[in-house]
Amino acid sequence: MAVLAGLSREAYLYAVAKWIQDKSVEPELLYRIYLMVGELAIKHKWRVPKDKELLRGLTQLAIIEMVREPRCPHCSGNKCKRCGFTGYLWLNESEKARVVGIDRASWFRRWSKRYPIVRKIQSYESEVFDKLRGERI
């Protein structure tokens, strides 16, 4: 798509996954974010348990939250009390721990504080919007 030309590869994949909902780009997006999470882990000297696919779990969680925006099962996105009238039901802390593949205790002790750093490297949304703003449609 010409309108997305000039974006970083990650932002491009993110835009396609999110707005066109093309699931075929998700493996590459997952892989690229996974590499960045790996770099973060090295940079911040995170000790990652060897028997768990924790970094992959963190990547998975970030993608679920950013790309999929889980629709509220109670109202199917029509906005109700259960989802705070947003139409989306975000994962609670226990569910996040489960996606990452660790127990609640280690999620709270360590990884819930590190996770926002993982989310922050994905500033693709603003990259895409900045690009679109410059285009005349």
Interacting residues toward Zn ion by CB under 5 A: 72, 74-75, 80, 82-83
Residue holding tokens 């989306």?
Answer: 88
Q: Are 30 and 59 in contact (CB under 8 A)?
A: yes
CB of 91 to Zn ion, least distance (A): 14
CB of 81 to Zn ion, least distance (A): 7
Nearer to Zn ion (CB atom), residue 48 or residue 80: 80
Residue 105: both structure tokens together: 């205790």
Q: How far apart are CA 127 and CA 137, in angstroms?
A: 18
Nearer to Zn ion (CB atom), residue 9 or residue 82: 82
Residue holding tokens 């999110």?
Answer: 18
Contacts of 23 (CB under 8 A, 6+ apart): 17
Nearer to Zn ion (CB atom), residue 40 or residue 75: 75
CB of 95 to Zn ion, least distance (A): 16
CB of 128 to Zn ion, least distance (A): 27
Nearer to Zn ion (CB atom), residue 38 or residue 70: 70
Q: How far apart are CA 17 and CA 135, in angstroms?
A: 21
